[in-house]
Amino acid sequence: MDITHLAKLARLALTPEEIQSYQGQLGSILQYVDTLQELDTEQVPELQHAIEVTNVFRLDVPEGCEMDVRERSLKNFSNRSEDLLKVQAVFDGRTE
Amino acid sequence: MDISSLTLTQAKSLLADGDITSEALVSGHLKRIDEQNENLHALLGVSEQALDEARQADTRRAKGEDGGVLAGIPIAIKDNILVQGWENTSCSQVLEGHRSAYSATVVERLKAAGAILIGRTNMDEFAMGSSTESSHFGPTKNPWDAERVPGGSSGGSAAAVAAGFVPAALGSDTGGSIRQPASLCGVVGLKPTYGRVSRYGLMAMASSLDQIGPITRTVEDAALVLQVIEGKDPRDATSVELQETTIPELMTDSLEGMTLGIPDEYFLEGMDDTIKSLVMDAVAQLKERGATVEKISMPHAKYALAAYYVLMPCEASSNLGRFDGLRFGYHSSGNTLTETYERSRGEGFGSEVKRRILLGSYALSAGYYDAYYRKALKVRTLIKRDFDDALKRVDAIVTPTSPCVAWKLGEKFGDPLTMYLSDIYTITANLATVPAISLPCGFSEGLPVGLQLMGRPFDEQTLYRIGMAYQKVTDWHTRTPV
Protein backbone atom coordinates (compact mmCIF):
# COMPACT_ATOMS: atom_id res chain seq x y z
CA MET A 1 0.00 0.00 0.00
CA ASP A 2 1.38 3.37 -1.04
CA ILE A 3 0.57 5.64 1.92
CA THR A 4 2.08 8.69 0.22
CA HIS A 5 -0.26 8.27 -2.75
CA LEU A 6 -3.27 7.71 -0.48
CA ALA A 7 -2.41 10.79 1.57
CA LYS A 8 -2.34 12.76 -1.67
CA LEU A 9 -5.79 11.42 -2.61
CA ALA A 10 -7.16 12.26 0.84
CA ARG A 11 -5.48 15.70 0.95
CA LEU A 12 -3.50 14.95 4.09
CA ALA A 13 0.00 16.28 4.71
CA LEU A 14 1.77 13.54 6.69
CA THR A 15 5.19 13.50 8.34
CA PRO A 16 7.66 10.72 7.41
CA GLU A 17 7.08 9.21 10.89
CA GLU A 18 3.33 9.14 10.32
CA ILE A 19 3.75 7.50 6.92
CA GLN A 20 5.89 4.80 8.47
CA SER A 21 3.54 4.07 11.35
CA TYR A 22 0.40 4.03 9.16
CA GLN A 23 2.15 1.63 6.78
CA GLY A 24 2.37 -0.99 9.52
CA GLN A 25 -0.98 -0.31 11.18
CA LEU A 26 -3.03 -0.22 7.99
CA GLY A 27 -1.32 -3.38 6.85
CA SER A 28 -2.45 -5.31 9.92
CA ILE A 29 -5.99 -3.87 9.77
CA LEU A 30 -6.29 -4.91 6.10
CA GLN A 31 -5.00 -8.34 6.96
CA TYR A 32 -7.80 -8.65 9.51
CA VAL A 33 -10.36 -7.28 7.03
CA ASP A 34 -9.30 -9.88 4.48
CA THR A 35 -11.20 -12.55 6.46
CA LEU A 36 -14.23 -11.26 4.52
CA GLN A 37 -12.84 -12.98 1.43
CA GLU A 38 -13.58 -16.38 3.06
CA LEU A 39 -17.28 -15.81 2.45
CA ASP A 40 -18.92 -16.70 -0.83
CA THR A 41 -21.08 -13.66 -1.58
CA GLU A 42 -21.60 -14.26 -5.28
CA GLN A 43 -25.41 -14.44 -4.93
CA VAL A 44 -25.76 -11.93 -2.10
CA PRO A 45 -27.10 -8.43 -2.84
CA GLU A 46 -25.37 -5.40 -1.37
CA LEU A 47 -27.05 -3.65 1.55
CA GLN A 48 -27.18 -0.26 -0.09
CA HIS A 49 -29.55 1.54 2.26
CA ALA A 50 -29.83 1.30 6.00
CA ILE A 51 -33.52 2.01 5.72
CA GLU A 52 -36.06 1.40 2.95
CA VAL A 53 -36.68 4.82 1.53
CA THR A 54 -37.27 5.82 -2.02
CA ASN A 55 -36.68 9.33 -3.28
CA VAL A 56 -37.82 11.84 -0.69
CA PHE A 57 -39.13 14.89 -2.50
CA ARG A 58 -40.33 18.25 -1.35
CA LEU A 59 -41.64 21.29 -3.18
CA ASP A 60 -38.95 23.34 -4.84
CA VAL A 61 -39.31 26.32 -2.56
CA PRO A 62 -36.62 27.73 -0.30
CA GLU A 63 -37.06 26.76 3.34
CA GLY A 64 -34.98 26.73 6.47
CA CYS A 65 -32.81 29.57 5.18
CA GLU A 66 -32.91 31.82 8.19
CA MET A 67 -30.74 34.88 7.74
CA ASP A 68 -29.12 34.57 11.14
CA VAL A 69 -28.03 30.98 10.44
CA ARG A 70 -26.42 32.25 7.26
CA GLU A 71 -24.68 35.06 9.16
CA ARG A 72 -23.38 32.67 11.80
CA SER A 73 -22.18 30.20 9.17
CA LEU A 74 -20.24 32.92 7.39
CA LYS A 75 -18.54 33.85 10.63
CA ASN A 76 -16.97 30.38 10.75
CA PHE A 77 -15.21 30.91 7.42
CA SER A 78 -11.45 31.30 7.66
CA ASN A 79 -11.04 34.41 5.53
CA ARG A 80 -13.58 36.80 4.10
CA SER A 81 -14.34 40.38 3.43
CA GLU A 82 -17.90 41.03 4.52
CA ASP A 83 -20.04 38.54 2.59
CA LEU A 84 -17.32 37.51 0.17
CA LEU A 85 -15.45 34.34 1.07
CA LYS A 86 -11.77 34.51 0.18
CA VAL A 87 -9.86 31.44 -0.99
CA GLN A 88 -6.63 30.91 -2.87
CA ALA A 89 -6.67 30.43 -6.65
CA VAL A 90 -8.29 27.11 -7.53
CA PHE A 91 -6.39 26.54 -10.79
CA ASP A 92 -2.64 26.00 -11.08
CA GLY A 93 -0.49 28.80 -12.43
CA ARG A 94 -2.77 31.54 -11.09
CA THR A 95 -1.86 33.57 -8.07
CA GLU A 96 -5.16 35.31 -7.42
CA MET B 1 -30.94 15.03 49.65
CA ASP B 2 -28.14 13.70 47.44
CA ILE B 3 -28.97 15.43 44.19
CA SER B 4 -26.21 13.77 42.23
CA SER B 5 -27.64 10.28 42.63
CA LEU B 6 -31.17 11.14 41.47
CA THR B 7 -32.53 9.46 38.38
CA LEU B 8 -34.28 11.60 35.81
CA THR B 9 -37.65 10.16 36.82
CA GLN B 10 -36.99 10.86 40.50
CA ALA B 11 -35.92 14.43 39.74
CA LYS B 12 -39.02 14.88 37.60
CA SER B 13 -41.37 13.79 40.35
CA LEU B 14 -39.61 15.86 43.03
CA LEU B 15 -39.97 18.90 40.77
CA ALA B 16 -43.63 18.11 40.07
CA ASP B 17 -44.38 17.75 43.79
CA GLY B 18 -42.60 20.99 44.59
CA ASP B 19 -40.09 19.17 46.82
CA ILE B 20 -37.18 20.68 44.93
CA THR B 21 -36.67 23.58 42.56
CA SER B 22 -34.94 23.34 39.23
CA GLU B 23 -32.50 25.96 40.51
CA ALA B 24 -31.53 23.67 43.40
CA LEU B 25 -31.33 20.68 41.09
CA VAL B 26 -29.12 22.40 38.55
CA SER B 27 -26.91 24.08 41.14
CA GLY B 28 -26.52 20.74 42.94
CA HIS B 29 -25.26 19.19 39.72
CA LEU B 30 -23.04 22.18 38.95
CA LYS B 31 -21.49 21.80 42.39
CA ARG B 32 -20.78 18.15 41.71
CA ILE B 33 -19.22 19.07 38.36
CA ASP B 34 -17.14 21.72 40.06
CA GLU B 35 -15.84 19.21 42.59
CA GLN B 36 -15.06 16.31 40.27
CA ASN B 37 -14.76 17.38 36.67
CA GLU B 38 -11.20 18.58 36.96
CA ASN B 39 -10.20 15.03 37.77
CA LEU B 40 -12.62 13.13 35.49
CA HIS B 41 -12.69 15.54 32.53
CA ALA B 42 -16.11 14.32 31.39
CA LEU B 43 -17.41 17.79 30.53
CA LEU B 44 -15.52 20.20 28.28
CA GLY B 45 -17.60 23.24 29.10
CA VAL B 46 -20.57 24.21 31.21
CA SER B 47 -23.35 26.43 29.89
CA GLU B 48 -23.38 29.84 31.52
CA GLN B 49 -27.12 30.07 30.98
CA ALA B 50 -27.97 26.85 32.80
CA LEU B 51 -28.83 28.47 36.15
CA ASP B 52 -30.87 31.26 34.54
CA GLU B 53 -32.79 28.70 32.53
CA ALA B 54 -33.42 26.72 35.72
CA ARG B 55 -34.86 29.81 37.42
CA GLN B 56 -37.05 30.47 34.41
CA ALA B 57 -38.29 26.88 34.55
CA ASP B 58 -39.17 27.42 38.23
CA THR B 59 -41.05 30.61 37.42
CA ARG B 60 -43.06 28.88 34.71
CA ARG B 61 -43.82 26.00 37.04
CA ALA B 62 -44.92 28.40 39.79
CA LYS B 63 -47.34 29.99 37.33
CA GLY B 64 -48.80 26.59 36.59
CA GLU B 65 -47.49 26.47 33.02
CA ASP B 66 -46.66 23.11 31.46
CA GLY B 67 -42.92 23.37 30.90
CA GLY B 68 -42.64 20.05 29.06
CA VAL B 69 -41.72 16.45 29.83
CA LEU B 70 -38.16 17.36 30.88
CA ALA B 71 -38.92 20.77 32.40
CA GLY B 72 -36.03 22.02 34.50
CA ILE B 73 -33.92 18.87 34.20
CA PRO B 74 -30.22 19.17 33.30
CA ILE B 75 -28.90 17.14 30.39
CA ALA B 76 -25.39 16.99 28.90
CA ILE B 77 -24.73 16.81 25.17
CA LYS B 78 -21.96 15.00 23.32
CA ASP B 79 -19.66 17.45 21.56
CA ASN B 80 -20.54 16.20 18.06
CA ILE B 81 -24.17 17.31 18.43
CA LEU B 82 -24.67 20.95 17.50
CA VAL B 83 -26.08 23.45 19.95
CA GLN B 84 -26.38 26.89 18.43
CA GLY B 85 -23.75 29.23 19.84
CA TRP B 86 -21.71 26.45 21.48
CA GLU B 87 -18.12 25.79 20.47
CA ASN B 88 -18.80 22.28 19.20
CA THR B 89 -15.64 20.64 17.90
CA SER B 90 -16.21 16.86 17.99
CA CYS B 91 -13.09 17.08 20.14
CA SER B 92 -10.98 17.75 17.06
CA GLN B 93 -8.39 20.44 16.57
CA VAL B 94 -9.68 20.80 13.01
CA LEU B 95 -12.76 22.54 14.45
CA GLU B 96 -10.88 24.80 16.84
CA GLY B 97 -12.79 28.06 17.16
CA HIS B 98 -15.90 26.73 15.42
CA ARG B 99 -19.20 28.01 16.75
CA SER B 100 -22.38 26.12 15.85
CA ALA B 101 -24.59 28.15 13.53
CA TYR B 102 -27.71 26.13 14.35
CA SER B 103 -28.94 23.40 16.69
CA ALA B 104 -29.46 19.72 15.98
CA THR B 105 -33.06 18.53 15.81
CA VAL B 106 -32.56 16.48 18.99
CA VAL B 107 -31.38 19.62 20.76
CA GLU B 108 -34.40 21.62 19.60
CA ARG B 109 -36.63 18.81 20.83
CA LEU B 110 -34.94 18.61 24.24
CA LYS B 111 -35.29 22.37 24.62
CA ALA B 112 -38.93 22.27 23.56
CA ALA B 113 -39.47 19.64 26.27
CA GLY B 114 -37.97 22.02 28.85
CA ALA B 115 -34.58 20.35 29.36
CA ILE B 116 -31.65 22.46 30.49
CA LEU B 117 -28.55 21.84 28.42
CA ILE B 118 -25.83 21.95 31.01
CA GLY B 119 -22.70 21.38 28.94
CA ARG B 120 -20.87 19.48 26.23
CA THR B 121 -19.20 16.17 26.92
CA ASN B 122 -15.79 14.82 25.96
CA MET B 123 -15.49 12.17 23.27
CA ASP B 124 -13.06 10.47 20.95
CA GLU B 125 -12.20 12.78 18.07
CA PHE B 126 -15.09 12.64 15.58
CA ALA B 127 -16.44 9.68 17.59
CA MET B 128 -13.58 7.52 16.34
CA GLY B 129 -12.41 5.44 19.25
CA SER B 130 -13.45 3.19 22.11
CA SER B 131 -11.75 4.90 25.03
CA THR B 132 -12.18 8.72 24.72
CA GLU B 133 -8.38 8.91 24.61
CA SER B 134 -8.31 10.34 21.08
CA SER B 135 -10.01 13.57 22.21
CA HIS B 136 -7.94 16.60 21.29
CA PHE B 137 -8.69 17.88 24.80
CA GLY B 138 -7.27 14.84 26.58
CA PRO B 139 -8.95 11.72 27.95
CA THR B 140 -11.93 11.33 30.27
CA LYS B 141 -11.37 9.08 33.28
CA ASN B 142 -13.66 6.35 34.50
CA PRO B 143 -15.51 7.43 37.68
CA TRP B 144 -15.14 3.89 39.07
CA ASP B 145 -11.36 4.02 38.77
CA ALA B 146 -9.67 7.18 37.56
CA GLU B 147 -6.72 5.19 36.22
CA ARG B 148 -9.02 3.58 33.68
CA VAL B 149 -10.78 4.62 30.50
CA PRO B 150 -14.54 5.28 30.48
CA GLY B 151 -14.92 3.55 27.10
CA GLY B 152 -15.90 5.51 24.04
CA SER B 153 -16.56 7.26 21.97
CA SER B 154 -19.30 8.78 24.18
CA GLY B 155 -17.04 8.36 27.23
CA GLY B 156 -17.67 11.88 28.53
CA SER B 157 -21.45 11.38 28.45
CA ALA B 158 -21.26 7.99 30.19
CA ALA B 159 -18.80 9.23 32.82
CA ALA B 160 -20.93 12.35 33.42
CA VAL B 161 -23.99 10.22 34.21
CA ALA B 162 -22.02 7.71 36.29
CA ALA B 163 -20.39 10.51 38.33
CA GLY B 164 -23.74 12.19 39.00
CA PHE B 165 -22.98 15.32 36.95
CA VAL B 166 -26.32 14.86 35.16
CA PRO B 167 -29.17 12.35 35.28
CA ALA B 168 -29.03 11.99 31.48
CA ALA B 169 -26.77 12.76 28.54
CA LEU B 170 -26.93 12.31 24.79
CA GLY B 171 -24.38 10.22 22.96
CA SER B 172 -24.00 8.93 19.43
CA ASP B 173 -23.47 5.33 18.39
CA THR B 174 -21.91 4.18 15.11
CA GLY B 175 -20.42 0.87 16.26
CA GLY B 176 -21.11 0.84 19.99
CA SER B 177 -20.20 4.36 21.07
CA ILE B 178 -23.20 4.72 23.40
CA ARG B 179 -23.43 1.16 24.71
CA GLN B 180 -19.77 0.32 25.28
CA PRO B 181 -18.99 3.39 27.48
CA ALA B 182 -22.33 2.88 29.27
CA SER B 183 -21.21 -0.67 30.01
CA LEU B 184 -17.74 0.39 31.20
CA CYS B 185 -19.21 3.16 33.41
CA GLY B 186 -22.10 1.14 34.89
CA VAL B 187 -24.98 3.11 33.36
CA VAL B 188 -27.69 2.54 30.74
CA GLY B 189 -27.02 3.34 27.07
CA LEU B 190 -29.56 3.01 24.28
CA LYS B 191 -28.83 2.94 20.55
CA PRO B 192 -32.14 3.39 18.77
CA THR B 193 -33.12 1.69 15.52
CA TYR B 194 -31.54 3.43 12.53
CA GLY B 195 -34.07 6.01 11.38
CA ARG B 196 -35.75 6.50 14.74
CA VAL B 197 -33.86 9.67 15.66
CA SER B 198 -33.00 12.52 13.31
CA ARG B 199 -29.31 12.91 12.57
CA TYR B 200 -29.73 16.54 11.54
CA GLY B 201 -27.05 18.50 13.37
CA LEU B 202 -24.98 15.43 14.30
CA MET B 203 -21.49 15.68 12.83
CA ALA B 204 -21.52 12.66 10.54
CA MET B 205 -19.06 9.83 10.93
CA ALA B 206 -20.65 6.93 9.02
CA SER B 207 -24.05 8.09 7.83
CA SER B 208 -25.58 4.63 7.33
CA LEU B 209 -24.67 3.58 10.89
CA ASP B 210 -24.84 6.73 13.08
CA GLN B 211 -27.69 7.18 15.60
CA ILE B 212 -28.10 9.56 18.53
CA GLY B 213 -29.37 8.07 21.80
CA PRO B 214 -29.60 8.57 25.56
CA ILE B 215 -27.28 7.58 28.40
CA THR B 216 -29.06 7.41 31.78
CA ARG B 217 -29.14 5.43 35.03
CA THR B 218 -32.33 3.52 34.31
CA VAL B 219 -34.09 1.99 31.33
CA GLU B 220 -37.18 4.02 32.19
CA ASP B 221 -35.17 7.26 31.94
CA ALA B 222 -33.66 6.20 28.61
CA ALA B 223 -37.17 5.55 27.26
CA LEU B 224 -38.31 8.95 28.50
CA VAL B 225 -35.46 10.81 26.79
CA LEU B 226 -35.80 8.81 23.59
CA GLN B 227 -39.51 9.64 23.45
CA VAL B 228 -38.59 13.33 23.43
CA ILE B 229 -35.92 13.18 20.72
CA GLU B 230 -37.32 10.50 18.36
CA GLY B 231 -39.56 10.83 15.32
CA LYS B 232 -39.61 11.96 11.75
CA ASP B 233 -37.76 15.12 10.82
CA PRO B 234 -38.02 16.59 7.33
CA ARG B 235 -34.36 17.61 7.61
CA ASP B 236 -33.20 13.98 7.81
CA ALA B 237 -34.68 11.97 4.96
CA THR B 238 -33.75 8.69 6.68
CA SER B 239 -35.83 9.49 9.77
CA VAL B 240 -39.08 7.59 10.02
CA GLU B 241 -42.69 8.32 11.02
CA LEU B 242 -43.28 6.38 14.25
CA GLN B 243 -46.19 4.78 15.96
CA GLU B 244 -46.73 6.32 19.36
CA THR B 245 -44.95 4.60 22.23
CA THR B 246 -46.46 4.48 25.68
CA ILE B 247 -44.04 3.71 28.43
CA PRO B 248 -46.23 3.23 31.53
CA GLU B 249 -48.04 0.27 29.97
CA LEU B 250 -44.73 -1.50 29.73
CA MET B 251 -44.11 -1.32 33.45
CA THR B 252 -45.18 -4.89 34.09
CA ASP B 253 -42.60 -7.03 35.80
CA SER B 254 -43.69 -10.19 34.07
CA LEU B 255 -41.89 -11.38 30.97
CA GLU B 256 -44.46 -14.13 30.37
CA GLY B 257 -44.61 -14.97 26.66
CA MET B 258 -41.28 -13.36 25.86
CA THR B 259 -38.54 -15.40 24.16
CA LEU B 260 -34.90 -14.46 24.49
CA GLY B 261 -32.15 -15.72 22.20
CA ILE B 262 -28.59 -16.46 23.33
CA PRO B 263 -26.21 -16.55 20.36
CA ASP B 264 -23.33 -19.00 20.75
CA GLU B 265 -21.14 -16.75 18.63
CA TYR B 266 -21.10 -14.05 21.34
CA PHE B 267 -19.82 -16.38 24.04
CA LEU B 268 -16.53 -17.42 22.60
CA GLU B 269 -14.00 -19.61 24.28
CA GLY B 270 -11.42 -17.56 26.10
CA MET B 271 -13.84 -14.79 26.96
CA ASP B 272 -13.77 -13.23 30.44
CA ASP B 273 -15.37 -15.79 32.78
CA THR B 274 -16.82 -13.24 35.18
CA ILE B 275 -18.50 -11.31 32.37
CA LYS B 276 -19.93 -14.51 30.99
CA SER B 277 -21.28 -15.67 34.34
CA LEU B 278 -22.80 -12.24 35.16
CA VAL B 279 -24.59 -12.20 31.81
CA MET B 280 -25.85 -15.74 32.39
CA ASP B 281 -27.01 -14.73 35.91
CA ALA B 282 -28.99 -11.93 34.29
CA VAL B 283 -30.49 -14.39 31.81
CA ALA B 284 -31.50 -16.62 34.73
CA GLN B 285 -33.24 -13.67 36.39
CA LEU B 286 -35.11 -12.85 33.20
CA LYS B 287 -36.15 -16.48 33.05
CA GLU B 288 -37.52 -16.20 36.57
CA ARG B 289 -39.67 -13.29 35.41
CA GLY B 290 -41.27 -15.63 32.90
CA ALA B 291 -39.11 -15.36 29.79
CA THR B 292 -38.27 -18.41 27.72
CA VAL B 293 -34.64 -18.75 26.68
CA GLU B 294 -33.40 -20.31 23.45
CA LYS B 295 -29.97 -20.88 21.95
CA ILE B 296 -29.64 -19.24 18.58
CA SER B 297 -26.97 -19.03 15.94
CA MET B 298 -25.74 -15.91 14.14
CA PRO B 299 -23.12 -17.45 11.87
CA HIS B 300 -21.88 -14.21 10.29
CA ALA B 301 -21.29 -12.36 13.56
CA LYS B 302 -17.58 -13.12 13.38
CA TYR B 303 -17.30 -11.14 10.13
CA ALA B 304 -19.03 -8.05 11.51
CA LEU B 305 -15.96 -6.23 12.77
CA ALA B 306 -14.13 -6.75 9.46
CA ALA B 307 -17.13 -5.50 7.45
CA TYR B 308 -17.45 -2.53 9.80
CA TYR B 309 -13.80 -1.58 9.38
CA VAL B 310 -14.38 -1.30 5.65
CA LEU B 311 -17.76 0.45 5.59
CA MET B 312 -17.20 2.90 8.45
CA PRO B 313 -13.87 4.31 7.15
CA CYS B 314 -15.30 4.55 3.62
CA GLU B 315 -18.23 6.63 4.83
CA ALA B 316 -16.09 8.60 7.28
CA SER B 317 -13.45 9.50 4.70
CA SER B 318 -16.21 10.95 2.51
CA ASN B 319 -17.96 12.74 5.37
CA LEU B 320 -14.75 14.32 6.63
CA GLY B 321 -14.00 15.73 3.19
CA ARG B 322 -15.83 18.88 4.22
CA PHE B 323 -13.07 19.84 6.65
CA ASP B 324 -11.00 21.81 4.20
CA GLY B 325 -9.38 24.38 6.47
CA LEU B 326 -11.57 27.08 4.96
CA ARG B 327 -15.19 26.66 5.98
CA PHE B 328 -14.69 26.27 9.70
CA GLY B 329 -12.06 25.86 12.33
CA TYR B 330 -8.37 25.20 11.94
CA HIS B 331 -6.59 26.88 9.02
CA SER B 332 -2.97 26.40 7.96
CA SER B 333 -1.92 28.31 4.84
CA GLY B 334 0.16 26.71 2.10
CA ASN B 335 1.49 28.06 -1.18
CA THR B 336 -1.45 26.68 -3.15
CA LEU B 337 -5.04 25.82 -2.31
CA THR B 338 -4.21 22.10 -2.39
CA GLU B 339 -1.35 22.67 0.01
CA THR B 340 -3.68 24.59 2.31
CA TYR B 341 -6.10 21.65 2.31
CA GLU B 342 -3.29 19.20 2.99
CA ARG B 343 -1.73 21.21 5.78
CA SER B 344 -5.00 22.14 7.49
CA ARG B 345 -6.16 18.53 7.44
CA GLY B 346 -2.78 16.97 8.18
CA GLU B 347 -2.25 19.23 11.19
CA GLY B 348 -5.88 19.55 12.29
CA PHE B 349 -6.91 15.88 12.38
CA GLY B 350 -5.55 13.52 15.03
CA SER B 351 -3.91 10.18 14.32
CA GLU B 352 -6.97 7.90 14.58
CA VAL B 353 -8.99 10.14 12.26
CA LYS B 354 -6.21 10.22 9.68
CA ARG B 355 -5.85 6.45 9.98
CA ARG B 356 -9.52 5.95 9.13
CA ILE B 357 -9.48 8.52 6.31
CA LEU B 358 -6.54 6.67 4.74
CA LEU B 359 -8.23 3.30 5.20
CA GLY B 360 -11.46 4.57 3.62
CA SER B 361 -9.61 6.26 0.78
CA TYR B 362 -7.79 3.01 0.11
CA ALA B 363 -10.93 0.85 0.14
CA LEU B 364 -12.74 3.26 -2.18
CA SER B 365 -9.85 3.79 -4.58
CA ALA B 366 -9.80 2.40 -8.12
CA GLY B 367 -9.05 -1.30 -8.19
CA TYR B 368 -10.01 -1.94 -4.55
CA TYR B 369 -13.62 -0.76 -4.48
CA ASP B 370 -15.11 -4.14 -5.42
CA ALA B 371 -12.83 -6.20 -3.20
CA TYR B 372 -13.45 -4.11 -0.11
CA TYR B 373 -16.44 -1.78 -0.21
CA ARG B 374 -18.85 -3.87 -2.30
CA LYS B 375 -17.77 -7.07 -0.55
CA ALA B 376 -18.44 -5.50 2.85
CA LEU B 377 -21.90 -4.31 1.70
CA LYS B 378 -22.73 -7.91 0.79
CA VAL B 379 -21.50 -9.18 4.14
CA ARG B 380 -23.67 -6.52 5.78
CA THR B 381 -26.66 -8.15 4.05
CA LEU B 382 -25.64 -11.54 5.49
CA ILE B 383 -25.38 -10.06 8.99
CA LYS B 384 -28.78 -8.39 8.63
CA ARG B 385 -30.26 -11.73 7.51
CA ASP B 386 -28.85 -13.44 10.61
CA PHE B 387 -30.75 -10.89 12.70
CA ASP B 388 -33.94 -11.16 10.62
CA ASP B 389 -33.90 -14.95 10.98
CA ALA B 390 -33.13 -14.93 14.70
CA LEU B 391 -35.72 -12.26 15.49
CA LYS B 392 -38.42 -14.31 13.81
CA ARG B 393 -37.92 -16.90 16.56
CA VAL B 394 -37.01 -14.72 19.52
CA ASP B 395 -38.15 -11.30 20.77
CA ALA B 396 -34.71 -10.11 21.80
CA ILE B 397 -31.10 -11.23 21.70
CA VAL B 398 -29.05 -11.19 24.90
CA THR B 399 -25.25 -10.80 24.90
CA PRO B 400 -22.52 -9.06 26.88
CA THR B 401 -22.01 -5.45 25.76
CA SER B 402 -18.24 -5.52 25.92
CA PRO B 403 -15.77 -8.41 26.00
CA CYS B 404 -13.85 -6.68 28.78
CA VAL B 405 -14.26 -4.24 31.67
CA ALA B 406 -12.64 -0.79 31.67
CA TRP B 407 -8.93 -1.01 30.90
CA LYS B 408 -6.06 1.19 32.02
CA LEU B 409 -5.49 4.51 30.28
CA GLY B 410 -2.89 4.07 27.55
CA GLU B 411 -3.13 0.26 27.58
CA LYS B 412 -4.58 -0.14 24.07
CA PHE B 413 -4.03 3.29 22.62
CA GLY B 414 -0.99 2.41 20.52
CA ASP B 415 -2.59 -0.70 19.05
CA PRO B 416 -5.58 0.18 16.85
CA LEU B 417 -6.70 -3.36 16.07
CA THR B 418 -6.85 -4.39 19.76
CA MET B 419 -8.83 -1.22 20.45
CA TYR B 420 -11.24 -2.03 17.61
CA LEU B 421 -11.86 -5.50 19.04
CA SER B 422 -13.47 -4.00 22.15
CA ASP B 423 -16.51 -3.17 19.96
CA ILE B 424 -16.95 -6.72 18.73
CA TYR B 425 -20.34 -7.29 20.43
CA THR B 426 -21.88 -3.90 19.66
CA ILE B 427 -21.05 -3.42 15.98
CA THR B 428 -23.54 -5.97 14.65
CA ALA B 429 -26.56 -3.95 15.84
CA ASN B 430 -25.41 -0.94 13.78
CA LEU B 431 -24.78 -3.05 10.69
CA ALA B 432 -28.20 -4.70 11.07
CA THR B 433 -29.84 -1.32 11.97
CA VAL B 434 -31.57 -2.88 15.03
CA PRO B 435 -32.10 -1.18 18.42
CA ALA B 436 -29.82 -2.21 21.29
CA ILE B 437 -29.47 -1.26 24.92
CA SER B 438 -26.76 -1.84 27.51
CA LEU B 439 -27.59 -2.03 31.19
CA PRO B 440 -25.48 -2.72 34.27
CA CYS B 441 -25.53 -6.39 35.32
CA GLY B 442 -22.80 -6.63 37.94
CA PHE B 443 -19.16 -6.00 38.71
CA SER B 444 -15.92 -7.73 37.91
CA GLU B 445 -13.16 -6.75 40.34
CA GLY B 446 -15.01 -3.57 41.22
CA LEU B 447 -15.61 -2.54 37.61
CA PRO B 448 -19.04 -2.45 35.96
CA VAL B 449 -20.18 -5.10 33.46
CA GLY B 450 -22.90 -4.48 30.89
CA LEU B 451 -25.70 -6.65 29.54
CA GLN B 452 -26.75 -6.01 25.96
CA LEU B 453 -30.28 -6.55 24.60
CA MET B 454 -30.87 -6.27 20.86
CA GLY B 455 -34.36 -6.25 19.34
CA ARG B 456 -36.41 -5.98 16.17
CA PRO B 457 -36.20 -2.76 14.16
CA PHE B 458 -38.45 -0.10 15.72
CA ASP B 459 -39.39 -2.41 18.59
CA GLU B 460 -37.60 -0.50 21.35
CA GLN B 461 -40.62 -1.26 23.55
CA THR B 462 -39.58 -4.89 23.96
CA LEU B 463 -36.13 -3.77 25.10
CA TYR B 464 -37.74 -1.36 27.58
CA ARG B 465 -39.98 -4.08 28.92
CA ILE B 466 -37.14 -6.56 29.47
CA GLY B 467 -34.80 -3.88 30.80
CA MET B 468 -37.37 -2.45 33.21
CA ALA B 469 -38.29 -5.92 34.47
CA TYR B 470 -34.60 -6.61 35.09
CA GLN B 471 -34.00 -3.32 36.89
CA LYS B 472 -37.04 -3.95 39.10
CA VAL B 473 -35.46 -7.06 40.57
CA THR B 474 -31.82 -5.97 40.59
CA ASP B 475 -30.02 -3.01 42.09
CA TRP B 476 -26.84 -2.79 39.98
CA HIS B 477 -28.08 0.46 38.44
CA THR B 478 -28.40 2.08 41.87
CA ARG B 479 -24.71 1.64 42.72
CA THR B 480 -22.58 4.71 42.35
CA PRO B 481 -18.82 5.19 42.40
CA VAL B 482 -17.34 6.56 45.61
Q: CATH: 1.10.20, 1.10.3470, 1.20.1640, 1.10.10. Which one for A3-37?
A: 1.10.20
Topology at the third CATH level for domain B3-257+395-478: Amidase signature (AS) enzymes (3.90.1300)
| 8 Å CB contact between B158 and B171 | yes
Using the beta-carbon criterion (under 8 Å), do B358 and A53 form an inter-chain contact? no
Q: Which residues contact A86 (CB under 8 A, 6 or more apart)?
A: A79, A80
- Report the pLDDT value the prediction gives residue A65, as an integer from 0 to 100: 75
- Respond yes or no: is residue B198 known to be catalytic: no
Closest chain B CA to residue A52: B238
Using the beta-carbon criterion (under 8 Å), do A73 and B101 form an inter-chain contact? yes
Q: Which of residues 4-63 of A touch B (CB under 8 A)?
A: 6-7, 9-14, 18, 22, 25-26, 28-30, 32-39, 41, 44-51, 53, 56, 58
A96 has pLDDT over 60: no
Report residue B120's pLDDT band, with 50, 70 and 90 as the boundaries: very high
The percentage of residues in chain B with a pLDDT greater than 90, rounded to a whole number, is: 92
Q: Is the ipTM of this complex over 0.90?
A: yes
In this prediction, residues B286-299 reach a mean pLDDT of 97
Report residue B270's pLDDT band, with 50, 70 and 90 as the boundaries: confident
B252 has pLDDT over 90: no
Handedness of CA B97, B100, B104, B106 (dihedral sign): positive
Domain boundaries of chain A, sorted by first residue: 3-37
pLDDT digits (tens, 9 = 90+) for B338-372: 999 999 999 999 999 999 999 999 999 988 999 99
- Report the pLDDT value the prediction gives residue B246, as an integer from 0 to 100: 60
The percentage of residues in chain B with a pLDDT greater than 70, rounded to a whole number, is: 98
A95 has pLDDT over 70: no
pLDDT digits (tens, 9 = 90+) for A36-80: 999 999 999 999 888 887 888 888 988 777 889 999 999 999 899
**Which backbone phi and psi does B50 adopt, to 5 degrees?**
-55, -45
pLDDT digits (tens, 9 = 90+) for A14-32: 999 999 999 999 999 999 9
Question: What HEC string does chain A produce?
Answer: CCHHHHHHHCCCCCCHHHHHHHHHHHHHHHHHHHHHHHCCCCCCCCCCCCCCCCCCCCCCCCCCCCHHHHHHHHHCCCCEECCEECCCCCCCCCCC
- Respond yes or no: is residue B177 known to be catalytic: yes
Closest chain B CA to residue A53: B238
Q: Point out the catalytic residue in the list B135, B153, B157, B344.
A: B153
B249 has pLDDT over 70: no
pLDDT digits (tens, 9 = 90+) for B411-458: 998 888 888 888 999 999 999 999 999 999 999 999 999 999 999 999
What's chain B's average pLDDT? 95
B245 has pLDDT over 70: no
- Respond yes or no: is residue B78 known to be catalytic: yes
Domain boundaries of chain B, sorted by first residue: 3-257+395-478
